[in-house]
Chains A and B, each alone.
Chain A
Amino acid sequence: MKVIYAFIRAAFHDSAIYRFEFWGWVLATFIMMYASYSLWAILYRQDPNAFGLDLARMTTYGALGMLLIPILEAAATPQYYIAEKVRQGTLELDLVKPLNFILHMLYRSLGEFCAQLLLVGVPGLAFASLFLGFQPPVSWQAGVGFAASLALGYLIFFGVSMLMGMLSALTLDIRSYSWAYWSLVSFTSGQLVPLWLYPPLLGAIAAALPFKSIFFVPMSIYIGAQEGSMAGALLSQVVWAAGVFVLVHLAWVRVQRRIVIQGG
C-alpha cells in the first residue's frame, strides 16, 4: 500500500513540475470535448430518431469519451516505459528491483491514473457542466456502476498495453505504431461513436474485441444505455480482465526467458 502511495505522489509531483505543459493538455482535452459535443448536436438535429435517447445524454456520451482519453491513457504507461527501457538497453535494472515487474508497472500506471482522474477529470467535468450541458449519471446506481466499470476498463487497457509494450522490443520507434494502435482502440472501443450506431458487421467485430470494455461499457452505463443488464456488462469486463492478465503473465514469463544480458 505504501508503494502505491509513493507512485501516486510521484505522478502528482510530475504534473506540478510541468504546470504550463499540464494546463496545455487540459485545454487540448476541453477542445476535443467541445468538438465531440458539436458533432453530436449536429447529427442529432439531422435525425433525432436514430439515437433512441435524448440529445443531452448523447452529447454527454460524446464529451465523456473525450474526457476519458487523458485519464485512461495512464493505462498505456507501461507501453512507453518498456519501449524506452528497451531502447536504452536498461531493462535489466528493472529486473533486479525488489518488486515484481508487472506490479511495478501497475503501480506506476495507477499513480498516473489517479493523478489524471483528479487533475484533468475535475476541471473537465466543471468545463463540460458549465458549457456543454453535461449530465450527471442517470441514477446513483449508474454512478456506482460507472466507477466500477471504469476501473475494470482501466485494468483491461493496462493489460493490453503491457502486451503491446512487450511487443515493442521488435521496433525502435514506438511512435510509428502507437498512433495506429490508438486509432484502432478508439475505433473499436466506441470512444467516439457508440457501438449501437455501427453497421451490423462492424458492430459485431467491435463487440468481440476487449476494447469496448475500455470506453463503451463504462460510458454507456453512465448514460443508462448499456446493452442488457448492468451486472452482465460488469461481469463481461471481469472475464476480459482475468483473461488479459493471464496472457500478460504468460507473455512476461516468456520474455524473461528470452532476455539476454550483454556483458561489458
Chain B
Amino acid sequence: MSDSLRLYFKFIGIAFRARLEYRSDFLFGVVGVIVLNLTNLALIWVLIARFRSLGSWTYWEIVMLYSMWLLSHSVYAVFFWHLSRLEDDILSGRFDQYLIRPCSPLMQFLGREINYMGVGDVVFAATAFILAYSRLGLRWSAGQWLFFAVALLAGLVIETCIAWMIGALSFWMGRSRAIYAISLRFNILTQNYPLDIFGQWFRLFITGFLPVAFMNYYPLTALLGKQNALGVPWLGFLSPLVALVLLALAAFVWQRGVAIYSSSGS
C-alpha cells in the first residue's frame, strides 16, 4: 500500500510537469473557471436582487452553500476528475497496461492526470467563502470549524466515490458517461440551490440515493442553525458516515469490476 502511494505521488509529479508545458492552457483554464463561477453567482444575485431571498435563504447564505460545495469539488477536480473518463481506458483496452505492472491499477490510473482548472476553483471558492463568512457576521467556535473541515473532507470523498463508482460501472456496461452526466446535473443543482426549493422525491433522491446534499446542504444547515428540508436536525452530522459508506461501496464495486475486466482485444 505505501509503495503504491509513493508511486502515486511520483506519477502525479510527472503529470504536473507535463501540464506545465502548456502555459496558455493553464491561464485560459483558470480564468475560464473563475468566469464560470462568477456568472453562476451573478445569476443567483440577479434573482435575489429582485426577490430578496430564495425560500428562507439570503444571498450570502447561498454563496456559502455554493462555495462549500466548490471547496470540496476543487480538490476532486484537481486530482480525480478523470474518473469520469475511466470508460475510455476500459473501452480502448488501455486498462491492460495497468494490470501488467506491479503496482495498484487504481494508483496508476489516478496518477496519470492532473487538472489545473481546479486551481481556479480553489481560489474562487476560498475567496467567496471568506466573504460570505464575514458578511453573515458568523463567529464559529473551534468545534464548528473542526466540523466544517471534516464536512469538507467528507464532501470530497462523496463526490469522488460517486464518480469512481459510475466510472467502474463501465466494466459491465462499456459506457457509463451518460450516468455521470446525470449525476453532474444533480451536483450542480445541489451546489447552486438550497434543497428546500425542490419537491419531496427530489430531496429524498439526493439525500438517500445520490447523497450529494451531504456535501454542502446538510452540514451547512447544521452550522448555520437553519432547519433542513427533511426537518431532521442531526442529518448534517451524518456526512462523514455517508462518506465512509460510499467509500466502502465504491471500493467494492471497483474490485469486482477489475476482477471481471476482459480486454477489448484491439
Contacts and interface: CB of A to CB of B under 8 A. Distances in A.
Nearest to B30: A176
Interface in A1-36: 18, 20-25, 27-28, 31-32, 34-35
Interface string A181-223: 0011011000011000111001000000000000000000000
Given A20-B178, A24-B179, A50-B51, A180 B33 contact: yes
Interface string B181-207: 110111001000100011100100000
Interface string B205-216: 000000000000
B46 A35 contact: no
A95 interface: no
Interface residues of B, number: 40
Interface string B40-56: 10110011011111110
Contacts of B22: 172-173
B46 A38 contact: no
Given A21-B175, A23-B178, A184 B35 contact: yes
A28 B178 CA distance: 9
A21 B87 CA distance: 12
Given A171-B25, A179-B36, A197-B50, A192 B178 contact: no
B181 A177 contact: no
Interface stretch (A41-49, A154-162, A256-264): A41-49
B236 to A, nearest CB: 22
Contact of A24 (B46, B55, B117, B181): B181
A21 B55 CA distance: 35
A144 B246 CA distance: 51
Nearest to B174: A20
Contact of A18 (B24, B43, B175, B185): B175
B53 A173 contact: no
Contacts of A35: 185, 189, 193, 198
A201 to B, nearest CB: 11
B5 interface: no
Given A173-B22, A193-B47, A198-B46, A42 B178 contact: no
